[in-house]
């Protein structure tokens, strides 16, 4: 069973008299363990797709199945549960809480899931260590570099040990070298079995993936296998 299956999926936005076809009739499957890059010009529907795959938004038509479950048939509670336990998110702008230390930021998903404090701190420390931030647990986001902040965001995304990591332009706010470090980290996570789906507009970043989905005007125009270069 594929981890992700979209069948004739569309997402339309109605604004006044106009209908914007943010996604139109998308069918694709993604297997567990894949490393996929989503590319395409601004406004082509990339983030809309990511939000649907991440169960943060629902389609207007068509079907989305995650691990065989039809998302439309799930209650909001069940959907929130899937989101918290099986999916990790990383964004271009890190989305860290500025008044919390790296450790506290990393602990957040475990607070939502009701994990006891000691267990939470232990797992958050381990997650930070895994992303190479062992000595930075008690730093605030402003005391960290951009690359380090993104590492905290990745540690936070991974602390619940999700099977699927979704990243919307994870290197977009970083310089080339730091971006490469973040991509190496995502590649390591993928090698450990996590499915990685990322949006990027940089060819060098997309080259880390083994499959490339290209969108234009809400449609999937190419789906190609990449030979891994790194
Ligand atoms: N809430 C909304 N209401 C109306 N239209 C929307 C909404 N969100 C997105 N759109 C439209 O849907 C289309 C796809 O948007 P989306 O954010 O998915 O693009 P994108 O490929 O992620 O672009 P970018 O590379 O700039 O981030 C765009 O035309 C956008 O204007
Ligand atoms: Mg976008």
What is the tens place of the pLDDT at every residue in 121-143? 999 999 999 999 999 999 999 99
**How many domains does the chain fold into?**
1
**CA-based angle 95:188:173, to the nearest 5?**
30
Q: Point out the ligand 1 atom lying closest to the alpha carbon of residue 41.
A: 25
Q: Which ligand is nearest to the CA of 215?
A: 1
Q: Which ligand is nearest to the CA of 49?
A: 1
Nearest to 82 by CA among 55, 49, 47, 57: 55
- 230 occurs within a structural domain: no
What CATH number is attached to the domain comprising 53? 3.40.50.300
Domain around 152 = 4-225
Mean pLDDT of 137-161: 96
Q: Point out the ligand 1 atom lying closest to the alpha carbon of residue 49.
A: 18
Specify the residue with its C-alpha closest to ligand 1, atom 6: 13
Task: Measure 48 CA to ligand 1 centroid, in angstroms.
Answer: 6
- 109 occurs within a structural domain: yes
Q: Is the CB of 47 under 6 A from ligand 1?
A: yes
Neighbours of 110 (CB within 10 A): 22
Mean pLDDT of 94-112: 95
Q: Is the CB of 19 under 6 A from ligand 1?
A: no
Q: Which ligand is nearest to the CA of 14?
A: 1
What is the tens place of the pLDDT at every residue in 175-220? 999 999 999 999 999 999 999 999 999 999 999 999 999 999 999 9
Neighbours of 115 (CB within 10 A): 18
Q: Is the CB of 44 under 6 A from ligand 1?
A: yes
Q: Looking at the predicted structure, is the pLDDT value of residue 228 above 70?
A: no
**What is the predicted pLDDT for the residue at 230?**
52
Place of tokens 């990591």: 165
Specify the residue with its C-alpha closest to ligand 1, atom 11: 22
CA 228 to CA 181: how far, in whole Å? Answer: 17
- 206 occurs within a structural domain: yes
- 77 occurs within a structural domain: yes
What is the tens place of the pLDDT at every residue in 21-78? 999 999 999 999 999 999 999 999 999 999 999 999 999 999 999 999 999 999 989 9
Mean pLDDT of 93-97: 94
- 24 occurs within a structural domain: yes
Q: Average pLDDT of the chain?
A: 95
């Amino acid at each position: 069973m594929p981890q992700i299956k979209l069948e004739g999926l569309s997402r339309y936005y109605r604004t006044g008299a106009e209908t914007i076809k943010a996604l139109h009739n998308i069918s694709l499957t993604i297997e567990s363990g894949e490393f996929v890059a989503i590319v395409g010009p601004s406004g082509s529907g990339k983030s809309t797709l990511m939000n649907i795959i991440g169960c943060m938004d629902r389609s207007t038509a068509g079907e989305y199945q995650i691990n065989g479950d039809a998302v439309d048939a799930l209650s909001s509670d069940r959907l929130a549960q899937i989101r918290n336990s099986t999916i990790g998110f990383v964004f271009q702008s890190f989305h860290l809480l500025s008044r919390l230390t790296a450790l506290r930021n990393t602990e957040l998903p475990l607070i939502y899931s009701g994990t006891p404090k000691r267990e939470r701190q232990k797992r958050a420390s381990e997650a930070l260590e895994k992303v190479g931030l062992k000595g930075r647990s008690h730093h605030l986001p402003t005391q960290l570099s951009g690359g380090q902040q993104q590492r905290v965001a990745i540690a936070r995304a991974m602390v619940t040990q999700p099977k699927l990591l979704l990243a919307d332009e994870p290197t977009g706010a970083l310089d080339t070298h730091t971006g490469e470090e973040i991509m190496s980290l995502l590649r390591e996570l993928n090698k450990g079995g996590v499915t990685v789906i990322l949006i990027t507009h940089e060819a060098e970043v997309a080259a880390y993936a083994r499959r490339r989905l290209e969108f234009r005007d809400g449609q999937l125009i190419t789906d190609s296998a990449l030979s891994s270069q790194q």
